[in-house]
Copies of this chain bind each other. A is one copy, B any other.
Amino acid sequence: MPPTTRIDGAAAPAAPGSTASLRVANQQRVLGVLRQITHEDDPVTQADLARRTGLAPATVSGIVRELDAARMVTTEPGRGRRGTTVRIARSAGLVAGVDFGHSHLSVAVADLTGTVLAEVRRPLHPGHDHRDGLALARQLLDGVLAEHTHAGEHLRAVGLGLPAPITDGVVRSSAILPGWVGIDAAAAAGEAFGAPVHTENDANLGALAEHRRGVARGTASSVFVKISSGVGAGIVLEDRIFRGSGGTAGEVGHLTLDEQGPVCRCGSRGCLEAYASIPTIQQMMAGQLPDATLDDVVAAARGGNVAALRSFEDAGLHLGWGVASVVNLLNPDLVVIGGELARAGDLLLDSVRLGLRRHALDAVAATPVLASTLGERASLVGAAILAAEQVELLPG
């Protein structure tokens, strides 16, 4: 099994059954709670920490003192009846998120709660060599770090997202970024960044980000469907990215909708991707709006162009069919629609919901289908969260 991301970010488990291991385990438990408290949340008090860890208040206050001395946390005296609050410190470490899209590169720096402190985005040619891509990423990262960090703050890990299936750090066949196929991305990026790199498929990262910080926060299971030049999905089950046996879970884009449909690059026919993606929308509109961008077609639809409206409607109905297969099989709490095509908003989503109702079992036909709140930053934010959660806070 490939490693899975844990929300509590615990390091190696304490040696089973030993009393001596309890102290480190208790520190980990406190830090595990703290790294779930983002900057958007109210800070927690020591009393909150005792409640959420199940540890005695005196134990918590001892641990907080130790962690404060080690510059792992910052404390702030309470006001009024509220006790001293505790946060994980930037000096505990920083992480980077790096997201390669079909034609862009984004880089972010975040703290160990995965909260992004600064980010940049650059266009990038889809045919770039992976070495050039990594060199540019390193250059952007150095710039962000120089501008936004202080002495004593150091990079602990990098999360790297790629629009391809990835197994054991190696990029498998991908028509989207040909300059990366067969590359051990984890190793190449580790060399480029000089820090441990955790690689992940971009849709999985989007799913992680929406689950931890976006519209799926608070649910146990959600599916993030990313529709851009292709269609992929990331699956979060019981709060963790689900990757499957070989790391390829979530390939919703190649569900067969019509066995007599167009032959796909994957070797099958009538795949969902052939009915719902940006190229498909552009192709449907080629006669009326030649060379239109996605935004052109969205604008036309909003302006009342019935053909443009129909192109989103048909893509949405087919997506709904694919989403129905997902909810029939997985019964998630929520489905999130992301990627560039999500810019079409309800032009697309209303039809996705209709397609879901038509193709799903009654019991799951009303599964909420919501637009990504992190938008096109979802995979980047997910890369930062992935890195943050992989950092071992203390030696085990």
Query: Which A residues have a C-beta under 8 Å from some C-beta of B?
Result: 1, 15-17, 19, 22, 25-26, 29, 53-56, 59, 165, 172-173, 219-221, 233, 235, 237-238, 242-252, 254-257, 259, 266-268, 321, 324-326, 328-333, 358-364, 367
Which residues of B sit under 8 angstroms from A266, Cβ to Cβ? 361-362
Which residues of B sit under 8 angstroms from A360, Cβ to Cβ? 254, 268
Which residues of B sit under 8 angstroms from A331, Cβ to Cβ? 243-249, 251
| Minimum distance in angstroms from A64 CB to a CB of chain B | 15
Which residue from B22, B267, B321 sits with its C-beta under 8 Å from A362? B267
A324 near B256 (CB under 8 angstroms)? Answer: yes
Which residue from B17, B247, B255, B328 sits with its C-beta under 8 Å from A252? B328
The answer for the CA separation of A328 and B250 in the assembled complex, in Å, is 7
A221 near B244 (CB under 8 angstroms)? Answer: yes
The answer for the CA separation of A268 and B259 in the assembled complex, in Å, is 18
14 further A-B contacts with Cβ under 8 Å, apart from A250-B329, A251-B361, A325-B325, are: A1-B238, A17-B22, A17-B55, A172-B363, A244-B331, A245-B332, A246-B331, A248-B363, A249-B330, A251-B329, A254-B360, A255-B329, A256-B324, A330-B330
The listed residue with most B CB atoms (<10 A of its CB), out of A237, A329, A332, A360, is: A329
B321 near A256 (CB under 8 angstroms)? Answer: yes
The answer for the CA separation of A328 and B165 in the assembled complex, in Å, is 12
Q: Contacts A359-B256, A363-B172: A16 and B328 contacting too (C-beta < 8 A)?
A: no
The answer for the CA separation of A338 and B363 in the assembled complex, in Å, is 25
CB-nearest residue of chain B to A365:
B267
Which residues of B sit under 8 angstroms from A251, Cβ to Cβ? 328-329, 331, 361, 364
Which residues of B sit under 8 angstroms from A54, Cβ to Cβ? 15-17
Which residues of B sit under 8 angstroms from A329, Cβ to Cβ? 233, 235, 249-252, 255, 325-326, 329-330
The answer for the CA separation of A59 and B56 in the assembled complex, in Å, is 27
| Minimum distance in angstroms from A68 CB to a CB of chain B | 20
Which residue from B15, B248, B256, B361 sits with its C-beta under 8 Å from A364? B248
Copy number in the complex reads 2
Which residues of B sit under 8 angstroms from A362, Cβ to Cβ? 173, 266-267
Which residues of B sit under 8 angstroms from A242, Cβ to Cβ? 237, 330
Q: Contacts A251-B328, A362-B173: A245 and B333 contacting too (C-beta < 8 A)?
A: yes
B221 near A259 (CB under 8 angstroms)? Answer: no
The answer for the CA separation of A42 and B200 in the assembled complex, in Å, is 41
Which residues of B sit under 8 angstroms from A332, Cβ to Cβ? 244-245
Which residues of B sit under 8 angstroms from A29, Cβ to Cβ? 16-17
Which residue from B53, B238, B256, B364 sits with its C-beta under 8 Å from A325? B256
8 intermolecular pairs with C-beta atoms under 8 Å apart: A17-B25, A235-B329, A242-B330, A244-B330, A248-B361, A266-B361, A267-B362, A325-B325
B19 near A26 (CB under 8 angstroms)? Answer: no
The listed residue with most B CB atoms (<10 A of its CB), out of A25, A172, A242, A245, is: A245
B255 near A325 (CB under 8 angstroms)? Answer: yes
The answer for the CA separation of A372 and B22 in the assembled complex, in Å, is 44
The answer for the CA separation of A244 and B25 in the assembled complex, in Å, is 31
Which residues of B sit under 8 angstroms from A233, Cβ to Cβ? 329
B19 near A259 (CB under 8 angstroms)? Answer: no
| Minimum distance in angstroms from A39 CB to a CB of chain B | 27
The listed residue with most B CB atoms (<10 A of its CB), out of A16, A53, A247, is: A16
